[in-house]
Amino acid sequence: MTNNIFKFLLLSVLFINVGIISAQHDAHGETTSHNEATVEKNEEAGHDEKFNPSDLINHHLSDSHDYKFDIPFFETTFYLPVILWTDNGLTVFSSSAFKGDEHGEVVVTKNGQKFVRIHDIIAYADKVPEHAKPEEITLSQRPLDFSITKNVLSMFFTFLIILILLMYVRKAYNKKGVPKGIAGFLEPLIVFIRDDVAKENIGPKYQKFVPFLLTVFFFILFSNLFGLIPFSPFGYNLTGNIVVTFVLAVIVFIITNVNGNKSYWKHILWPPGVPVILKPFIALIEVLSMFTKPFALMIRLFANIFAGHTIILTFITLIFVFKNWGVPFASGFATIFMYISELLVAFLQAYVFTLLSAIYFGMAVKEEAH
């Protein structure tokens, strides 16, 4: 047991060291490729450019139109397709046209229109002011962006891994004997979600919801775990993106209300056992709760994963901020502790999201007791 814990800690330290090296390299790359003008000004002024930890953290947590494949001793960039619905219709081109610029300095002309990219927000060049900040760009200044971004590509990758693993589990069940290896690891999780989550909280009609609950559980779980691996093709912040958790919550909201029976809607729109004078007020509260429940799902998952990634990156960047011999040791131990905590959070948040979804489904299909 002790030997296994020691091996795990060594593996964690390896991951952290790789993350530190990648962070240092990325920070240097961002400085040289996107802030050349600032560097020249600093050199002319006679002082060095300071390391900005917020730039590194924001770069990791945000989405991107470029995919940097970065492993030890090898790095390359894949330029993803930019798909825009503009004032002149559909416009498609490669993100390489921006030449790595994220500060609105490179203007791309396509389909008779000019575009700039400001921190991975693509906007019309003639509609945004010079040196505009991302939060200052309004929707009217941007085309509709349907691009294949880093998060979208990571989502496809996660689904592919899940599909391969579950097909392997199915193949293992077709053979005689007790499932071993990956199939033996995934089998208890599948049975647990089916029996202890779906069946226990939904009731006799649980079977129709099991496929979705298994899908959302493994998607969140693997997205959380892959996000903790600090090198490509992993290390992405998928479930820490509020757009992703928003879509998951909307799907839960739709499934819940589409499957709601007569008793469910009766308790919402005309609550039984309540004085008539209070029924409209209680009904209003119940209608609001229809929206607050999925909203809580969205915020809980997003906030926990986003905060975990931010804290880990903050501990790592302390090494470059203080440049003190004692900081790497303290930062390393703190990062290892956070990694172990985030492993628990990865499983816990996948379970909580799936459990609450099952509870909402059970409330929608539960028959009224007579």
The residues near 354 (Cβ < 8 Å, ≥ 6 apart) are 193, 197, 213, 216, 217, 220
Residue 116 lies in a domain: yes
Residue 188 lies in a domain: yes
Same domain for 289 and 166, yes or no, is yes
Residue 72 lies in a domain: no
CA distance 121 to 25: 24
Q: Is the peptide bond before 143 cis (omega within 30 degrees of 0)?
A: no
SS (H, E, C) 112-139: CEEEEEECCEEEECCCCCCCCCHHHCCH
Opening angle at CA 349, ends 182 and 195, nearest 5: 60
Q: Is the pLDDT of residue 149 over 70?
A: yes
Mean pLDDT of 41-50: 48
Residue 61 lies in a domain: no
pLDDT, greater one: 15 or 293: 293
Q: Is the pLDDT of residue 342 over 70?
A: yes
Tens of pLDDT, residues 26-38: 444 443 444 444 4
pLDDT, greater one: 359 or 42: 359
Residue 249: what pLDDT? 95
Residue 160: what pLDDT? 92
Q: What is the distance of C-alpha 214 from the center of its chain? A: 18
Q: Is the pLDDT of residue 42 over 50?
A: no
Residue 254: what pLDDT? 96
Q: Is the pLDDT of residue 55 over 90?
A: no
Q: What are the DSSP calls for 28-66, one per residue?
A: HHHHHHH-HHHHHHHHHHT-PPPP-HHHHHHHHHS--SE
CA distance 22 to 25: 5
End of a domain among 147, 164, 181?
A: 147
As a whole number, the mean pLDDT across the chain is 81
Number of residues written out for the chain: 370
Could you tell me the CA-to-CA distances from 300 to 60, 198, 241, 304, 356 in Å, in that order?
A: 20, 21, 12, 6, 11
Q: For residue 112, what are the domain limits?
A: 81-147
Same domain for 173 and 251, yes or no, is yes
CA distance 197 to 192: 7
CA distance 123 to 116: 6
Residue 210 lies in a domain: yes
pLDDT bucket at 329, cuts 50 / 70 / 90: confident
Could you tell me the CA-to-CA distances from 82 to 66, 86, 150, 219, 260 in Å, in that order?
A: 10, 12, 11, 25, 40
Same domain for 163 and 115, yes or no, is no
Which region among 21-25, 203-207, 298-302, 340-344 has the lowest average model confidence (pLDDT)? 21-25
End of a domain among 117, 147, 177?
A: 147
Where does residue 289 rank: exposed (0-12), middle (13-18), buried (19+ CB within 10 A)? Answer: exposed
pLDDT bucket at 273, cuts 50 / 70 / 90: confident
Same domain for 133 and 222, yes or no, is no
Tens of pLDDT, residues 117-136: 988 889 998 888 877 888 88
Residue 52 lies in a domain: no
Residue 299: what pLDDT? 94
Tens of pLDDT, residues 168-177: 888 877 776 6
For 14-44, letters b (16+ CB in 10 Å) and e give ebbebbbebbbebbebbbeebbeeeeeeeee
Same domain for 99 and 236, yes or no, is no
pTM over 0.85? The answer is no
End of a domain among 97, 126, 147?
A: 147
Residue 120: what pLDDT? 82
Residue 176: what pLDDT? 66
The residues near 196 (Cβ < 8 Å, ≥ 6 apart) are none
Please identify which residue in the block is written with the tokens 């308790």: 267
Q: Is the pLDDT of residue 213 over 90?
A: yes
Residue 35 lies in a domain: no
Tens of pLDDT, residues 347-370: 999 999 999 999 999 999 987 665
Same domain for 208 and 252, yes or no, is yes
Same domain for 210 and 190, yes or no, is yes
Residue 338 lies in a domain: yes
Same domain for 92 and 202, yes or no, is no
Contact 209, 198 (CB under 8 A): yes
pLDDT bucket at 71, cuts 50 / 70 / 90: low
The residues near 32 (Cβ < 8 Å, ≥ 6 apart) are 39
Same domain for 231 and 254, yes or no, is yes
Same domain for 282 and 206, yes or no, is yes
Overall number of domains in the chain: 2
Token duo for residue 194: 């089916």
pLDDT bucket at 64, cuts 50 / 70 / 90: confident
pLDDT, greater one: 184 or 48: 184
Residue among 266, 291, 292 at smallest CA distance from 279: 266
CA distance 189 to 94: 41
Same domain for 223 and 327, yes or no, is yes
Q: Is the pLDDT of residue 272 over 90?
A: no
Q: Is the pLDDT of residue 205 over 50?
A: yes
Same domain for 230 and 244, yes or no, is yes
